[in-house]
Amino acid sequence: MPDSSGLRMTQQRRVILEELAAVTSHPTADELYQSVRRRLPRISLGTVYRNLEIMAQKGEIQRIGAAGTQRRFDATTAVHYHIRCTTCGRVADLSLKPIIRLEQEAANISGFAISGHWVEFQGVCPECQDPAQA
């Protein structure tokens, strides 16, 4: 049978992807819904959830670890590192060269077929370290 991926590039899917790619803030499904809504007022939150889930499954986007309570997403599937402020909860990207070698090591130890990895640093951001300055 033809067409194994079976995914269609609908307007909703495209806009969700575009909005996600446009920010570096690792939005939650609801945050994304709010911004997508400005372009597609009739889109539903359910559709956003469904698409994020499907695309994450297909590896087109990345589901990142819980910074807080909610699930967050990232359009950059390439391995990259995050840093989270334990005080204000902000999550930022960190331009640190990923250590791919680690994946080989992890594969050897675990027997898993490694597809990627991600790293999150925890700490207190400059603003929260010095409240007066903020």
Partner DNA sequence: ATACTTGCAAATTTTTTGCACTGGA
Partner DNA sequence: TCCAGTGCAAAAAATTTGCAAGTAT
Residues that bind DNA (CB under 7 A): 6-13, 28-30, 40, 42-47, 49-51, 53-54, 69-71
**By rule CB under 8 A, what count of residues binds its own copies?**
39
Which stretch, 4-12, 26-34, 41-49, 91-99, contacts its own copies (CB under 8 A)?
91-99
| DSSP per-residue letters across 14-57 | HHHHHHHHH-SS--BHHHHHHHHHHH-TT--HHHHHHHHHHHHH
Site for its own copies in 42-71 (CB under 8 A): 63-66, 69, 71
What's the chain's length in residues?
Answer: 134
Cβ of residue 85: shortest distance to DNA, in angstroms? 17
> Is the separation of the CB atoms in 26 and 72 below 8 Å?
yes
